[in-house]
Amino acid sequence: MQCVAVGWLFEYNSTAACSPEHARALRYLGLWFWIPIVTISFYTNAAFPDYKWVGIILMIVFAIISWVLSFCMSKSRMSFTSWYHEIFFCGVDKLSMSITSLSNGDGSRSFWMPLFELYFGLCIKFLNPAALTFLFMQNLIDDLESPYAEQPAIMHVLASILVMIGILAVFVPMFTCDYPEKFEFDPNLEFAADQIYSDSLKSKNKVQATDHSQTGNQSEIELNTSKVPLNKPNIDS
């Protein structure tokens, strides 16, 4: 749940609101990743338990396909760098950069930070959800084929009621709450490292555009299509 919330729900709406290309790229990334992951995990464990390794390979292939399709849906609007930060690591990029920014008090970027952010983002957004989905399907099929401790079916039905109550307690508030959670402080200040990094890159590009102002409006055009992440509008305000 935490991996899904951070990697797939956090910042989704604000990023999708940036442009139709952002929304399309996020949609292709999510659909082409999650539908094959869930489908392959179920059928591999239910119908082809002796070929689980094939299912794992197929999951990796479809994950890569989702990345490629997502970038193709956005390349007319943004560069690979922008897609990488805004789409590919939407949600986890803000969290990972907020973690690494604690290491340098002056706000500078160390060489190891992008490597850690890549590792962190891949694990939280793609690897962990895929692995946990596969294991969940595996355990589900095993429990259906071999009931726990040879208990009668009615005991499993009664036990499932408690599970359903827990699931409803998590998901129902997610879709029924119609107002944002109220904090005594601004939580956005704790996760501003990615925006600071983006603003820093844009400032550098603005300086370069000023140095080449003699070329007319071409510098301004290049600046407007710069290969840096866009500011994400706050649609909740």
Ordered by start, the domain boundaries in the chain are: 2-146+179-224
**pLDDT tens, position by position, 27-68:** 999 999 999 999 999 999 988 989 999 999 999 999 999 999
Q: Provide the 10 A C-beta neighbour count for residue 57.
A: 12
**pLDDT tens, position by position, 152-207:** 777 878 888 888 898 888 778 777 777 777 777 666 666 666 666 666 655 655 54
d(CA 5, CA 12): 10
CA 65 to chain CA centroid, Å, is 16
What's the whole-number mean pLDDT along residues 9-23?
88
d(CA 75, CA 97): 24
